[in-house]
């Protein structure tokens, strides 16, 4: 491909593996963003229980995502 000559000039740079962990964390990130948006909207509209539950779930997912970062092959 078009990246081959550039990669050949930089042999010290290793190829990054993107696999199951990264895609799962991406999916959890999308879900946490939507939970945050809906949670804030529900709080603004006065649906306190749904808003608090949604924001609590979003915070839990952020904690899970941050815990998964160590298992990713980024270094």
**What pLDDT, in 10s, does the model give residues 23-60?**
999 999 999 999 999 999 999 999 999 999 999 999 99
As a whole number, mean pLDDT of residues 3-23 equals 86
- Cα–Cα distances (Å) from 10 to 15, 16, 75, in that order, read 11, 14, 17
**What is the pLDDT, as a whole number, of residue 46?**
97
pTM score of the predicted model: 0.76
Kindly report the length of the chain. 75
Do 12 and 18 touch, CB atoms closer than 8 A? Answer: no
Query: Quick one: angle between helices 20-44 and 48-68, nearest 10?
Result: 160
pLDDT range class, residue 64, cuts 50, 70, 90: very high
Tokens encoding 64: 């899970």
Per-residue pLDDT at 73 exceeds 90: no
């Amino acid at each position: 491909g078009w990246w081959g000559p550039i990669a050949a000039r930089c042999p010290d740079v290793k190829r990054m593996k993107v696999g199951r962990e990264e895609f799962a964390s991406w999916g959890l990130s999308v879900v946490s963003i939507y939970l945050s948006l809906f949670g804030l909207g529900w709080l603004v509209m006065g649906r306190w229980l749904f808003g608090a539950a949604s924001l609590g779930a979003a915070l839990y997912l952020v904690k899970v995502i941050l815990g998964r970062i160590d298992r990713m092959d980024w270094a």
